[in-house]
Structure 1
Amino acid sequence: MKWNRISLGPLETNAYILSHSDGTCLIFDPGSEGEKLIRSIEQQGWEPLAILLTHAHFDHIGAINDLLIRWKLPIYLHEKEKAWLSNPSLNGSAYFIGEKVQVAHEPHCLQNETTLTIGSFALEVLETPGHSPGSVSYYCPEIEAVFSGDVLFAGSIGRTDLLGGNYEELMRSIHERLLVLPEETALLPGHGPETTIGTEMDTNPFLHGF
């Protein structure tokens, strides 16, 4: 397996494609620019199996409708943000951009920490709320990588001033769910460059003193 990062939209949200040697792939957080994302997948000849969301803010779901027109794909996200897909007030698009993002599709709701098996992929679902109530991270031990959404970044942490955000909860998620992973684990955030768990433990100024 290997992962590819594609920066999309004005907020440069990172979408990730996790591909397998059997030609299948998973799509994480398709934020916008659906045609660009589709073109990239088709150029590689990959067959998408599912869309996985770390959370349902507008800049992480904006290309879903384009993807669903091209492929019939299941969507996975935490049950606490199920209503956010179709509600611009909840997903933030009603306030931050000039158009309303609405996804009219029934998702597969994640309720607890579990191992999610889709085709040849096996991912550990980690509940990491704080940036949003239903934020999750997807840990793939096989490639030593975690898709962390907007929970933890290279040198920073997720904002907690949006709907349902909570600083104490965010810090608990980071310390109890992410920093316990092996230090060599690649941290693949929703914005900015990739880093590692060990690097953030050593250098991230927001993590010290909590």
Structure 2
Amino acid sequence: MAARIEHLVTSGEFTLDGGTWQVDNNVWIVGDDEQVLVIDPAHDAEAVAAAIGDRRLLAIVCTHGHNDHVNAAPELADRTGAPVLLHREDGVLWQQTHPGFKPDAELADGQRLTAAGTELTVLHTPGHSPGAVCLYAPDLGTVFSGDTLFAGGPGATGRSFSDFPTIIRSISERLLVLPPETVVRTGHGDSTTIGTEAPHLEEWIARGH
């Protein structure tokens, strides 16, 4: 059976730089009836585990280290035995949420993860955070963008460990070069496509979005 994409929305708090905000997060599950990957287990390990059911969880993949994308990762790992994967450059952010606990393995640019015969390529896309990554699955016609690219523009860069010129470079060099029909499945909110967002790059730069 070919891999498919499942979507779960969980709610909780995003905390950074002394501020706290209520957020809804997209949790993505990629696989088939036997095995899956989970991307960004946010807020509610029980809900994510219920969505997985009795399928084998191959890995828990975190697109970056902000608490709202990783806060349920250790509990989900305990429940399932799956390894937690994170880019090493987001280790400092991870430790703010999970001091003393380390991810099981590092994500690296160009690395390929496989679920149900479908490959997802890791694209290092710093800017929103130093170790932010996206996951490109050409066979599914999609890229999981975390908080790097949303419907309407780049992810936020006004807080610690973020940088606007860097996220613009990541988006233009790593994401906007993908086929225009590629669906962008984001960390929050609605999905979009590369073709929808690409024409607005200069606008984002002009307004320093």
TM range (shorter): 0.7 to 0.9
Give the equivalent residue in structure 1 for 2:70: 61
Give the equivalent residue in structure 2 for 1:178: 175
Hey, what's the Cα distance between the residues in 2 that align with 1:159 and 1:77?
A: 20
Task: Give the C-alpha shift of residue 73 in structure 1.
Answer: 0.9
What CA RMSD, in Å, does the superposition of the two structures yield over aligned residues?
A: 2.1
Secondary structure of the residue that 2:165 maps to in structure 1? helix
Distance 1:116 1:69, change over 3 A: closer
One-letter amino acid of the structure 1 residue matched with residue 29 of structure 2: I
Give the equivalent residue in structure 2 for 1:148: 145
Could you tell me which of 32, 36, 55 is aligned with 1:20?
Answer: 32
Mapping of 1:45-56 within 5 angstroms? 45-56=54-65
Distance 1:113 1:201, change over 3 A: same
Distance 1:65 1:194, change over 3 A: same
Task: Give the C-alpha shift of residue 111 in structure 1.
Answer: 3.5
8 A contact 2:42–2:71 mirrored in 1? yes
Give the equivalent residue in structure 2 for 1:158: 155
Distance 1:121 1:83, change over 3 A: farther
Task: Give the C-alpha shift of residue 31 in structure 1.
Answer: 1.1
Could you tell me which of 70, 79, 82 is aligned with 2:88?
Answer: 79
8 A contact 1:65–1:103 mirrored in 2? no
8 A contact 2:112–2:120 mirrored in 1? yes
Give the equivalent residue in structure 1 for 2:20: none
Which stretches in structure 1 are left out of the alignment for 5+ residues? 89-100
8 A contact 2:141–2:181 mirrored in 1? yes
Hey, what's the Cα distance between the residues in 1 that align with 2:116 and 2:101?
A: 25
Which deviations, in whole Å up to 9, do the C-alpha atoms of 1:80-125 show, x marking residues without a partner? Answer: 112432324xxxxxxxxxxxx5572442112433333467342111
Distance 1:154 1:120, change over 3 A: same
Give the equivalent residue in structure 1 for 2:194: 197
Could you tell me which of 109, 113, 118 is aligned with 2:110?
Answer: 113
Which deviations, in whole Å up to 9, do the C-alpha atoms of 1:120-167 show, x marking residues without a partner? Answer: 342111111000000010001110110100011011320001221000
TM-score of the two chains, using structure 1 as the length reference: 0.84
Give the equivalent residue in structure 1 for 2:52: 41
8 A contact 2:77–2:84 mirrored in 1? no
Higher alpha-carbon deviation: 109-118 or 132-141: 109-118
Greater share of strand residues, 1 or 2? 2
8 A contact 1:156–1:206 mirrored in 2? no
Q: Which runs of 4+ in 1 moved over 6 A?
A: none
8 A contact 1:132–1:162 mirrored in 2? no
Q: Percent of counterpart pairs with the same letter? A: 35
One-letter amino acid of the structure 2 residue matched with residue 16 of structure 1: W
Hey, what's the Cα distance between the residues in 2 that align with 1:140 and 1:105?
A: 27
Which stretches in structure 2 are left out of the alignment for 5+ residues? 13-22
TM-score of the two chains, using structure 2 as the length reference: 0.85
Hey, what's the Cα distance between the residues in 2 that align with 1:164 and 1:29?
A: 19
One-letter amino acid of the structure 1 residue matched with residue 123 of structure 2: L
8 A contact 1:157–1:206 mirrored in 2? no
8 A contact 1:155–1:205 mirrored in 2? no
